[in-house]
Every structure is written in C-alpha cells, then in structure tokens.
Amino acid sequence: MDELKPKNLPEMNSSKGFLGPIGDDLPSLIPLIFALMMFFYVFTFTWNIFDQRSRAFDDAIAVLRVGNTLKGGNYLRGIGMFNQKCEEAQSMRNVKFMTGLLPLSTGPGHIFKGLDIETLEEDFFNIEGEKFICSNVDLEEEKPGIESSNLFIRSFPIALEFTNTDTGLFYIRPMLLVVVTWR
C-alpha cells in the first residue's frame, strides 16, 4: 500500500481551508473577546474605586490624626502648648494640613457663622498678636481653597485657658479646633 502513495505530494492538500486552530473557530472568539473586555473593564473600574476610596480613607484618617495630636486631652494651656503640639503634628508628611482655633460663643443670641475656607486663615484666633495657627506647608506659598484636591475639613471642640492681662482673672473658654487637609 505504501508504494501506491505519491511521494512528493505537498502536505497542504490534506488540510485545505484550514485557517489555524483559532481562525477556524472565529465565531466562538466573539464571546471570548467580549468576556475579556468585560473582565478588564470591571477590573480597571474596581481598581479605580479601590484607589479612590483608599485615598479618601487616608485623608479622613489623616485629618483625625492631626486633630488628635493637636487637641490631646481636649485642653490647651495656651499658645506655648499649642505650638508644642504643632511641632508634633508637623512630622506628618503624607498630607498637607492647616489648623487653628476659632472662638466658640456660649452667650445668648450668638450664632456660629460657619467656616469659610477662603477667610479661615485670617479668622483664626490670636492672643496679643500670637495666632493659634499651625501648618506643615508655607501658607504664603500655598493655601487650601475650594479648588484644592481631596479637601477635608473637620472641627473639634477644645477648652483653652486664658488669663486676663488687666485683671489677672483666670478662666477657661470653649474654642473650636479646625483642621483642614488637602493634597
């Protein structure tokens, strides 16, 4: 039988119309490609959401950390203690922050005006020219604003000691520690 078989017949003749293992089954590739596209789309979407939310958590936690460092036991003895805590907070480098104190009114008829990010720096409380303000960036070069990315604002009530320079009267009044973080 082997003798009857032509010797120099090309191999091609036995696989006529064969496009290859993938090309031969072209219709089955469509759902495969569609599935792959869906997978990579959802994968990218998930990755973006994961990244976005992780960043938001980092910022939300950072603002609490700055707040906790500065407020300590919710009691400040004065500007010296504030500056000391400010130095501690300045070691945090993963986020930019600005923080300071605003007076809280506890008398009748007083209304808290709210926080205005544009004027916050000027509004921060000062005693005899010494302002209760702390930041880990040079505020003359960069200030937080509504256009800042990942802007977070949190406030914490805190008690601050005072001594009236005229009468020598000692008292404690409520203040609001405002913490702003941005990237």
Partner 1 sequence: MLFFYASNYGLTLQERVSNQYRKEYATGALETILYTSTPRVAGQSLEETSEVDYLLAAVKEDFAENGKIEETAEVLKQNIKGIMQPVAPGFDYMFYFYLFDARKFAFVMLYTRDAPTIKDGIIEHSDAKIYFCNPDTLNDLEKLVERIGSSAPSNSRIQFIEISEKDIPGYPPAEVNLTMWIPSPIDSELLKELNCELNETIPATG
Interface residues toward partner 1, by CB under 8 A: 42-43, 45-46, 49-50, 53-54, 56-57, 60-61, 64, 67-68, 71, 73-75, 104-108, 110-112, 114-115, 154-159, 162, 164, 167, 169-174, 176
For the chain, how far is it from start to end, CA to CA, in angstroms?
Answer: 83
Calculate Rg over the CA atoms of the chain: 34
- The distance of closest approach from Cβ of residue 69 to partner 1 in the complex, given in angstroms and rounded to an integer, is 13
Smallest gap from Cβ 116 to partner 1, in A, equals 13
Using the minimum distance from each CB to partner 1, give the nearer residue, 27 or 73. Answer: 73
78 exposed, middle or buried (CB, 10 Å; 0-12, 13-18, 19+)? middle
Nearer of residues 24 and 110 to partner 1, judged by Cβ: 110
Among 178, 71, 173, 60, which residue's Cα sits nearest to residue 115? 178
What is the smallest separation between the CB atom of 136 and partner 1, expressed in angstroms? Answer: 21
Question: Measured between alpha carbons, how far is 45 from 106 in angstroms, rounded to an integer?
Answer: 49
Instruction: Specify the residue, 137 or 159, whose C-beta has the smaller distance to partner 1.
Output: 159
